[in-house]
Structure 1
Amino acid sequence: MRKLHKIILLLLLITLLAACSLNNSEEAQRIEVPVTSVIDGDTIRVLINGKEERVRFLLIDTPEMNHSTPEEPQPFAVEATEYVEKLLEGGTVELEFDISERDRYGRLLAYLYVEDKNIQEELLRNGLARVAYIYEPNTKYVDHFQSIQKEAQKQEIGIWSIENYASENGFYLE
């Protein structure tokens, strides 16, 4: 009986150690880079190794600043852009990449953090973005983002305050 207890204890210890090493290998790597400009609510420019790069925020979409005419941004486009500008006023951002690093336009694809705050989460929480552009394999936080979006929808804040404005296909006023 004592031998059985020792074997069970050993197996539990091995399982615990394996789980700890798995968590460490899954821990996200981030790089901190200077921000050169905010293009809109879901795209910025940064400097990486002396080269300016455009960065597209993974898994979200914000209303467009230059939708049909340059003078008329979509509703909440200005608010989303200004919100990102405020978050990034410190001048740096941390980028976390998923599996694919670039989109078909050559932009870097990343999750963005300022002081350990995920910018995508903040935009979704404040009703300034919708979950969108869900393309495998870059889906690490999609379930988490969707749960945050559902809460904003329930509260009818931001883009969710205009009936039928935000949809799976984009932003459209009736």
Structure 2
Amino acid sequence: MGKRQNKTEKRNRRAKMKQYFKPLHTVAPQNVTVVDGDTVKFSKDGHTFYVRLIGINAPELNLDNSQSPQPFSIEAKERLGQLLLDAKDVKISLHPNLTDDTQNRLLGHLHVNLKGQYMNVSHVLLSEGLAVPYKIRRGLTKVERMNYDLLAYEAQRHRIGVHSIPGYVTEDGKFDENKRAV
């Protein structure tokens, strides 16, 4: 019964996503909460919606299995949470494709209003070494891809965050499970 209910919930969420949201629209949800370093969630009309941040990959918390959290996953989640806490308001710019490959999460850029200026949280996470550019970056313009790469390069050059562990960040923008902080 549990799996059938889960499938029904996912089907209902997909239908509601198509009903409430349109590609390239900007939404300003209330009470956005952090799932992990590259995913947030919010509620609308009693439904919970997840948003995967476009173009970045943060280390996995591994909460749904027996593995321990990857290095810097907790720091990435906490930093994203702090940005949301400090924000006067939040906007999410939705991706042209609207959902990820699983069709269970919206895709978008998360912008927080800090001191009267909107800031893309992905820029902060990349510059602080708490995320890396995701190599499959559909939905990013060429300029955005270059900015993401430059921010990550600076974090790598200064060996901060995920870049402080030799070999931890792989060439495809993922994290080597066998590398741990020293």
Q: Same fold (TM over 0.5)?
A: yes
Q: 2 CA distance for matches of 1:96 and 1:158?
A: 27
Q: Does residue 63 in structure 1 map to residue 59 in structure 2?
A: yes
Contact 2:36–2:60 (CA under 8 A) maintained in structure 1: yes
CA distance in 2, matches of 1:82, 1:72: 17
2:28 is equivalent to residue 32 of structure 1: yes
Q: CA deviation at 1:142?
A: 1.5
For residue 109 of structure 1, what is the aligned residue in structure 2? 107
Q: Which residue of 2 aligns with 1:76?
A: 72
Match of 2:3 in 1: none
**Does the CA contact (< 8 Å) of 1:30 and 1:97 recur in 2?**
yes
CA contact (8 A) 1:34 1:91 kept: no
How many pairs are equivalent?
146
What's 1:163 paired with? 166
Is 65-74 or 35-44 further displaced after alignment? Answer: 65-74
Give the 3-state SS of the residue equivalent to 2:96 in structure 1.
Answer: coil
Range 64-73 or range 80-89, more displaced = 64-73
Task: Give the C-alpha shift of residue 40 in structure 1.
Answer: 0.6
Q: Give the 3-state SS of the residue equivalent to 1:171 in structure 2.
A: coil
Cα drift, residue 98 of structure 1: 2.9
Counterpart of 1:14 in structure 2 is none
Query: Which moves more between the two structures, 34-43 or 119-128?
Result: 34-43
1:16 alignment partner in structure 2: none
Residue 134 of structure 2 is matched in structure 1 by 132
TM-score (norm 1): 0.75
Unaligned runs of 5+ in 1: 1-27
Q: CA RMSD in A?
A: 2.3
Q: Is this contact kept in 1: 2:109–2:120, CA < 8 A? A: yes
Mapped to 2, the partners of 1:91 and 1:45 lie a distance apart of 17
Q: 2:94 aligns with which of 82, 93, 97?
A: 97
- My pick for the range that moved more, 87-96 or 33-42, is 87-96
Q: Larger Cα Rg: Structure 1 or Structure 2?
A: 1
Match of 2:90, SS state, is strand
CA contact (8 A) 2:49 2:105 kept: yes
Q: Deviations over 1:13-65 (max 9, x none)?
A: xxxxxxxxxxxxxxx86321123431110111112455320110100000000
Q: Which moved further from structure 2: 108-117 or 95-104?
A: 95-104
Deviations 1:98-142 (A, max 9, x none): 321101222000010111011000000000000014243x12222
Q: Which runs of 4+ in 1 moved over 4 A?
A: 67-71
Q: What percent of counterpart residues are identical?
A: 30
